[in-house]
């Protein structure tokens, strides 16, 4: 996964983040479950060769999960779980 945080150039990183956020915003409602599973999969992955480098991938997944969360139904149990954590 190419993520915002894993791109070396700050300009390119912002472009990747903006493009990813635009995709999630445009398709998040209709593709919520597949996107959620994809991003959670990156967070759940435990056995990676380079942990420090993979942390950058996790950072990107978190950014995109936050963007995707805007498409959650307010009555969804994950909204209430998130409020309890915060």
What pLDDT shows up at residue 7?
59
Q: How many residues does the chain have?
A: 86
Domain segments of the chain: what residues?
A: 4-85
What is the tens place of the pLDDT at every residue in 73-82? 777 766 665 5
Whole-number Å distance between alpha carbons of 26 and 7: 23
Its pTM surpasses 0.75: no
Model pLDDT for residues 8-60, shown as the tens digit of each residue: 666 677 788 889 899 999 999 999 999 999 999 988 888 788 888 788 888 88
User: Given this model, what pLDDT does residue 45 score?
Assistant: 87
* Number of Cβ within a 10 Å radius of residue 61: 23
- From 85, 86, 82, 63, select the one nearest 73 (Cα to Cα): 82
Instruction: Return phi, psi of residue 9, to 5°.
Output: -85, 130
């Amino acid at each position: 996964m190419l993520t915002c945080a894993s791109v070396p150039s700050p300009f390119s990183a912002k472009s990747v983040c903006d493009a990813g956020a635009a995709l999630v915003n445009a398709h998040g409602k209709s593709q919520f479950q597949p996107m959620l599973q994809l991003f959670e999969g990156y967070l759940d992955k435990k056995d990676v060769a380079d942990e420090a480098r993979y942390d950058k991938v996790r950072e990107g997944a978190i950014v995109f999960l936050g963007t995707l969360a805007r498409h959650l139904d307010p009555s969804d149990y994950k909204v209430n779980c998130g409020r309890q954590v915060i």
